[in-house]
Amino acid sequence: MIDLVIKQRIILAHIDGMSNRAIANLLHMSKDTVNKYVNEYDEKRAQLLLANPDIRRSLKLMK
């Protein structure tokens, strides 16, 4: 298991548009590990947006 700081670095790099392979190389870890945490983030984000439509609208306003 990785610590929260590393997980945060993975997610922030993902949000910035970096590929999972590039993130793995940057952080010296396997692409499978990066895939795991990126997929987890994407699933939780989708669930949050489905459960709270107001969040989706406020995110559009922030762009």
Given this model, what pLDDT does residue 48 score? Answer: 87
pLDDT of residue 21: 98
Count structural domains, the chain: 1
User: Mean pLDDT in the chain?
Assistant: 90
> Does residue 11 register a pLDDT over 90?
yes
**Backbone angles phi and psi of 19, in degrees to 5:** -70, 155
- Structural domain range at position 44: 4-62
50 has pLDDT over 80:
yes
**CATH classification at residue 36:** 1.10.10
Model confidence at 19: pLDDT above 60? yes
What average pLDDT does the segment 26-42 reach? 98
pLDDT exceeds 80 at position 56: no
Task: Give the end-to-end CA distance of the chain in Å, rounded to a whole number.
Answer: 33
Query: CA-to-CA distance for 54 and 5, rounded, in angstroms?
Result: 29
Rounded to 10 degrees, the C-alpha dihedral 15/7/24/48 comes to -40
